[in-house]
Structure 1
Amino acid sequence: MMFLETILGFILAAFALTGSPGPNTLSLAAVGASFGKQRGLRYMGGLNIGMVLVIIITGSGVSGLLLTIPGASPIITVIAGIYFFYLAYRISTAPPLTKDSNTGKAPEWIEGTILSLLNPKAYAAIAALFSSFVLVTDDLLLDSILKSSVLLIVICTVNISWLFIGAALTPLLKRPRISRNINISFAILLILSVFSAAVI
């Protein structure tokens, strides 16, 4: 019974931390809205691959070790900032969708992977979840594997939901003025979410 309560608490916390608006979720909704569900799946796959790497990096303590190197934190922050601005630009300038046109190149899986790896919220969320819950006592490796497995299921569920939420806006994006306003709004929200995550 205790294990069930603990894992349920872990799942709820994982949904709250990974499912709330942030760089990954907002960019995924924006890609779904701007380029459609089908073309957003590759990007979502990249986000998921990136999150696997973030879990490994955070769980193994590599991220903490990297940040202890003098001067590393500002350099990483600048690189991440440049990349997020680039992605926001791609989203804000996506052309209106038309049923007979595929103008505008949707972000690829590698771009999703890079975004996850540069997302400060991802590292903070994973670190909080790993440090706040113990699912298997007296076996650190099994505990980490179980946490990682449950977390990946939650992340995949969250990501597909945000992609579909964004794709639901697709009919509106066939109207140029509405399309431009929605894309610019998503781009601004993406940048704001990055600043918010960095401050936290």
Structure 2
Amino acid sequence: MPDLPHLLAFIAAGWLLNLTPGPDVLYVVTNALRSGVRAGIVAGLGITTGCFVHIAAAAIGVGTLMATSAAAFTVLKVIGAAYLLYLGVRMLLSKAAPPAELDGAASAVDAPRSLKAIYLGGFWTNVLNPKVALFFLAFVPQFIAPGTDDKALAFVLLGVLFNVNAIPVNVGWALAAGWLARRSAVRDGLRWLDRVAGVLFIGFGLKLAFSDAPSR
């Protein structure tokens, strides 16, 4: 494990990276806007679970395979891009939620199936993005001291710390979006917000689809 100054730098860098808007943040915010804070938090937990999959995969070498194999990267890239495009199109075609669903305990939030769908959506949004695995492979090792005896264990511990630190950031996004959803102007424009979110998800999907495979 790194010493205290490097550990604090790792935590700070992780928070800044998690605050940066991207598909994960957009997924949390759009679900919190449509179905309330609880839905946004559940979306964030799904994303966090997906990150744990990437950490485990990187620790056992799957991430390294994707970083060196153009074929493996391309397969996951195509699947991930297709899923992001699907989410974007679905948002573009979705109907606006009735105002009552955005106040307090919304029926959509209380429905276990809806929460499960939101959770799984966040999970697959993250798992099917090969750039998340490559991010962990590029970012985490910078904070592992060269003399560390068990680098794989250090990688896993730092990855877990990164994920745990991401939870309050995702909760913060959900709380902010939930507060915003209670404003009447946002409720009235929710259909427009869905359109914008749909276009952004399609943009993320196209960006992933046309991204280059990592060099050998």
Shorter-chain TM range is 0.7 to 0.9
Paired residue type of 1:23: P
Compute the displacement of 1:197 (Å): 5.8
Q: Which moved more, 1:40-49 or 1:108-117?
A: 40-49
The whole-number CA distance in structure 2 between the counterparts of 1:4 and 1:97 is 50
> How many residues are matched?
197
In the superposition, the TM-score normalised over structure 2's length comes to: 0.76
The whole-number CA distance in structure 2 between the counterparts of 1:25 and 1:62 is 25
**Pairwise CA RMSD of aligned residues?**
2.8
The whole-number CA distance in structure 2 between the counterparts of 1:26 and 1:189 is 8
Compute the displacement of 1:69 (Å): 5.0
- Identify which of 102, 119, 122 aligns with 1:112: 122
Partner of 2:187: 174
Paired residue type of 1:165: A
Cα deviation digits, residues 5-57 of structure 1 (max 9, x gap): 11011112212223311111111111111221123333222111111111111
- Identify which of 140, 143, 165 aligns with 1:130: 140
> What secondary structure does 1:96 align onto?
coil
Q: Which moved more, 1:3-12 or 1:180-189?
A: 180-189
The whole-number CA distance in structure 2 between the counterparts of 1:82 and 1:18 is 23
> What secondary structure does 1:169 align onto?
helix
Q: Tell me if the contact between 2:41 and 2:170 (Cα under 8 Å) persists in the aligned partners.
A: no
Cα deviation digits, residues 132-176 of structure 1 (max 9, x gap): 11158233244224302311221212211222232232124431x
Within the alignment, does 1:3 sit opposite 2:16 as a pair? no
Partner of 1:156: 167
Unpaired runs of 5+ residues, structure 1, are none
Compute the displacement of 1:124 (Å): 3.3
Identical positions, percent: 23
Q: Tell me if the contact between 2:85 and 2:205 (Cα under 8 Å) persists in the aligned partners.
A: no
Unpaired runs of 5+ residues, structure 2, are none
Residues 13 and 33 of structure 1: CA distance in aligned 2, closer, same or farther (over 3 Å): same
Q: Tell me if the contact between 1:44 and 1:112 (Cα under 8 Å) persists in the aligned partners.
A: yes
Q: How does 1:91-106 map to 2 (within 5 A)?
A: 91-92=91-92, 93-99=94-100, 102=107
Compute the displacement of 1:70 (Å): 6.1
The whole-number CA distance in structure 2 between the counterparts of 1:21 and 1:122 is 14
Q: How does 1:3-42 map to 2 (within 5 A)?
A: 3-42=3-42
